[in-house]
Structure 1
């Protein structure tokens, strides 16, 4: 079962919703955990714009204070919710995974900024886990690091690290090995880096295998936005001028439309290929800069 945890710092923007949607589609996400929705009324969140399926439902914790707001969303065909427990700093979703007998508790965590509040939240989660048997998975931004190497160019708080490690031990939680970037949070123009986001569980990772469904080729559609691209007209004119059409009027019309469709499909594929290359290069450049930041400060022209 695939999870996605993301701190969006406000989910109202269309670009952010589109980014979440793309991540969910690419990684086949069944359970989504959003932090910092910054919505005082979570019912107004346009949650369905973040996924491409009608089988998702969601619940939320409203924004309160300068930052906050939590959103959990899940695929009802995979995860069946029994109940939820809500707090300002976490949301516990109790349910069952299809094909798995045990009760599962998925916790979306957004840690407080000061240590006393963090300790209080960790104690509450520990007590909840002790009183509710099942599989527990904690996902999110704990606003704390475990080890000195989880920090770069910023202060390490040994008391906070000790408290966090103590919580993990007492709650019998294990941190999943995380791949990708060493750090998950940056500030001050990316100069200060920390690893504060974590996936924790009291069980080994659960693997859900689903059988792919082939619905056949995607239907051909023309989008209004394509009409604003200058060379689309040239593609249509070129398609019609390159062929000779004979037959009755209805046969000629059908042949022309088929010819135009095939040329537009080629044109779209070329545009997608170029856009993908540009996107991949930008991601590669960004990845290289992320790796460089882990070893040194960026030059002015790199920022």
Structure 2
């Protein structure tokens, strides 16, 4: 059984404390990142502010509308300055990306010559992974959306 408490809602995120019987407590933040560059910079500040308000193990998941690596996009049209800002924030917040099984990209513009990107991510602190060493992040298929949903199994059997 899982309980959620101490929720906090901000411009682009919802954060709550997750408690599961027999497991350590941790914070979960679900995000939906904005589109414009100025809004993305404000969003990165928002993530830092969220972390300042919530001490302890933390997982941040959702549609960031940002890529972490150049390989997360299938063409060279990359805002490298924004990519660098995002990576710098992840490093400062001590977040690492959970490996996504089953798919390289999570979004497509679905055109004849498509742009594809991995803009949906799950990031966690090392202390969170200590409590959930058997976690597994997988991409689910979809035929009705331009993106694929992600499923995080906290106790995967390998």
TM-score when normalising by structure 2:
0.75
* Larger proportion of helix: 1
CA distance in 2, matches of 1:82, 1:107: 12
**Structure 1 residue matching 2:102: 3-state secondary structure:** coil
RMSD over aligned CA atoms reads 2.3
The whole-number CA distance in structure 2 between the counterparts of 1:123 and 1:170 is 12
Q: Which contiguous aligned blocks of 4+ residues in structure 1 show a shift greater than 6 angstroms? A: none
Decide which of 40, 43, 51 is 1:121's aligned counterpart: 43
SS of the aligned residue for 1:80 comes to strand
- Indicate the residue corresponding to 1:156 in structure 2: 78
Superposed CA offset, 1:36-95 (max 9, x none)? xxxxxxxxxxxxxxxxxxxxxxxxxxxxxxxxxxxxxxxxx2x21221111231110113
Residue of structure 2 equivalent to 1:88: 11
What SS does the aligned partner of 2:35 have?
coil
Q: Cα offset for 1:154? A: 6.0
The answer for the alignment partner of 1:192 in structure 2 is: 115
Unaligned runs of 5+ in 2: 135-140, 144-158
Q: Distance in 1 between matches of 2:97 and 2:7?
A: 23
Q: How many residues are matched?
A: 133
Aligned partners of 2:32 and 2:23: how far apart in 1?
28
Per-residue deviation, 1:188: 4.0
The aligned runs of 1:1-303 (5 Å cut-off) are 77=1, 79-101=2-24, 103-153=25-75, 155-189=77-111, 191-203=114-126, 204=129, 206-207=132-133
CA contact (8 A) 1:154 1:192 kept: no
- Unaligned segments of structure 1, at least 5 residues: 1-76, 209-282, 287-303
Give, in whole Å, the separation in 2 of the partners of 1:132 and 1:92: 9
Residues 242-273 of structure 1: CA deviation (Å, up to 9, x unaligned): xxxxxxxxxxxxxxxxxxxxxxxxxxxxxxxx
Q: Which has the larger radius of gyration?
A: 1
1:119 is paired with a residue of what secondary structure?
A: helix
**Structure with greater proportional strand content:** 2
Between the aligned partners of 1:99 and 1:185, the Cα distance in structure 2 is: 36
Distance 1:173 1:128 in 2: 13
CA drift of 1:207 comes to 4.9
- Match of 1:140, SS state, is strand
TM-score w.r.t. length of structure 1: 0.41
Q: Please state how far the C-alpha of 1:105 moved relative to its aligned partner.
A: 0.7
